[in-house]
């Protein structure tokens, strides 16, 4: 790297003080036009570019927001994360913000990462995605008074802005649909229950069984790790039951795809011999004809960005808490019981 030009370089070159150079370049109107012209051309010629780190230190803001991703289990590679990231990134860029991403395994290292970028003042705000029922990240941020928004609710008694999907209502509607088709043995591949969405979706499953007069049998519920592989493994267990289910609903599409894989390998025809459904409506779902619940993850990312920017600016949020009802999409993977 050739040495970079700083304000000092320009000051020396033009004979003006650093202050004047700074103000000329910043567009202040208390600089003589002639002076500004000289300084600007010198800056141009020297290839000057402001050191953003220095500016950040001075201004006490970074024009950057932070997102911390889990490094194990599903992450970027999970369409859920990619889509939300795309949505956030797209929208935040409009306001000239960048995104700082830290990848950490869940656990203490993760919380440390939050501490680090918050206390280290590396970002102006944070988006917490995939909340947990008792989310210590949110507890920390709220207690710290640091600007943040979350994708997901918690059971914490804290007042913070979020967007969440109504996973309970969505799953409820789906199970109801299956029951109306005549399914009586509807198995469920749940998400880990410390995750808010996992808990809510399972709740919808149980409530729907209740309301339709079907009995909730714990042996028809497996907990999966949200990956395709996990879905496949869970499906295997469910098929091995003495009385296998006629429909399998997974808490997310990825696991539903894994389930489909497994079923097909066992010669079962999806939607005919057995029904399968998921949740999320990731891009592959449509291609595979997977019945699922759509939530506009990409657009939620947009909204989260806008909310966070408002929070950072200290604005009042018109709707600080948003719960969206997902839309049931019936596709070929679901049919009446065989």
Partner DNA sequence: TTGAAAGCGCTAACAA
Partner DNA sequence: TTGTTAGCGCTTTCAA
Residues engaged in binding DNA (CB under 7 A): 4, 6-8, 15-20, 22-23, 25-26, 29-35, 48, 50-51, 54-55, 57-60
The SS3 assignment for 275 reads: strand
* Pairwise CA distance, residues 105 & 113, whole Å: 10
* Pairwise CA distance, residues 225 & 311, whole Å: 33
Binding-residue pattern over the window 40 to 79 for its own copies, x denoting contact by CB under 8 A: -------x-xxxxxx-xx----x-x----x-x---xxx-x
Minimum distance, C-beta of residue 85 to its own copies, in the bound complex (Å): 5
- Our CB check for its own copies shows the closer of 31 and 257 to be 257
Summary count for the chain: helices (H), strands (E): 13, 12
Supply angle C-alpha 69, 72, 75, rounded to 5: 50
Minimum distance, C-beta of residue 108 to DNA, in the bound complex (Å): 22
The SS3 assignment for 184 reads: coil
Looking at the chain, how many residues does it have?
338
Strand ranges in 33-191 using DSSP code E only, listed in sequence order: 64-70, 98-104, 125-129, 148-151, 162-165, 186-190
- Our CB check for DNA shows the closer of 22 and 306 to be 22
90: contact with its own copies by CB under 8 A: yes
- Our CB check for its own copies shows the closer of 204 and 230 to be 230
Residue 119, number of CB atoms within 10 A of its CB: 10
Q: Which does 100 bind (CB under 5 to 8 A by kind): DNA, its own copies, none?
A: its own copies
Q: At which residue do the structure tokens 């970074």 appear? A: 62
Span from 115-123, 129-137, 243-251, 271-279 in contact with its own copies (CB under 8 A): 115-123
Q: Which does 93 bind (CB under 5 to 8 A by kind): its own copies, DNA, none?
A: its own copies
Candidates 298, 324, 329, 337; binder of its own copies (CB under 8 A) is: 298
Tokens of 249: 């609903």
Phi, psi of 288 (to 5 degrees): -95, 0
Q: Of all residues in the chain, what percent are helix, strand and coil, respectively (each to 5)?
A: 45, 15, 35
Minimum distance, C-beta of residue 296 to its own copies, in the bound complex (Å): 13
* Binding positions for its own copies, rule: CB under 8 A: 1-2, 4, 47, 49-54, 56-57, 62, 64, 69, 71, 75-77, 79, 81-83, 85-86, 89-90, 92-93, 98-104, 115-117, 119-122, 144-146, 228, 257, 260-261, 283-284, 286-288, 298
């Amino acid at each position: 790297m050739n040495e970079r030009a700083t304000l000092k370089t320009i000051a020396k070159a033009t004979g003006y003080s650093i202050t004047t150079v700074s103000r000329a370049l910043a567009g202040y109107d208390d600089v003589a036009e002639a002076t500004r012209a000289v300084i600007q051309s010198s800056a141009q010629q020297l290839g000057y570019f402001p050191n953003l780190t220095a500016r950040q230190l001075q201004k006490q803001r970074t024009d950057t927001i932070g997102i911390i991703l889990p490094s194990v289990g599903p992450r970027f590679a999970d369409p859920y994360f990619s889509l939300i990231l795309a949505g956030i990134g797209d929208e935040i860029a409009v306001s000239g913000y960048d995104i700082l991403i830290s990848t950490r395994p869940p656990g203490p290292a993760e919380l440390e990462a939050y501490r680090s970028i918050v206390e280290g003042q590396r970002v102006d705000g944070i988006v917490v995605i995939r909340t947990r029922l008792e989310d210590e990240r949110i507890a920390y941020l709220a207690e710290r008074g640091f600007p943040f928004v979350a994708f997901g609710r918690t059971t914490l008694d804290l007042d913070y802005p979020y967007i969440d999907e109504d996973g309970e209502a969505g799953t409820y509607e789906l199970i109801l649909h299956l029951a109306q088709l005549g399914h009586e043995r509807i198995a469920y591949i749940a998400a880990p229950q410390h995750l808010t969405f996992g808990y809510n979706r399972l709740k919808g499953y149980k409530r729907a069984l209740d309301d339709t007069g079907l009995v909730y049998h714990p042996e028809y519920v497996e907990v999966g790790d949200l990956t395709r592989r996990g879905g496949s493994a869970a499906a295997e267990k469910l098929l091995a039951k003495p009385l296998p289910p006629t429909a399998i609903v997974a808490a997310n599409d990825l696991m539903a795809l894994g389930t489909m894989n497994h079923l097909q390998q066992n010669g079962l025809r999806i939607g005919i011999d057995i029904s399968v459904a998921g949740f999320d409506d990731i891009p592959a779902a449509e291609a595979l004809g997977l019945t699922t619940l759509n939530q506009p993850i990409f657009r939620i990312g947009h909204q989260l960005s806008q909310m966070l920017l408002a929070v950072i600016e200290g604005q009042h949020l018109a709707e600080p808490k948003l719960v969206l009802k997902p839309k049931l999409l019936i596709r070929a993977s679901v049919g009446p019981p065989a």
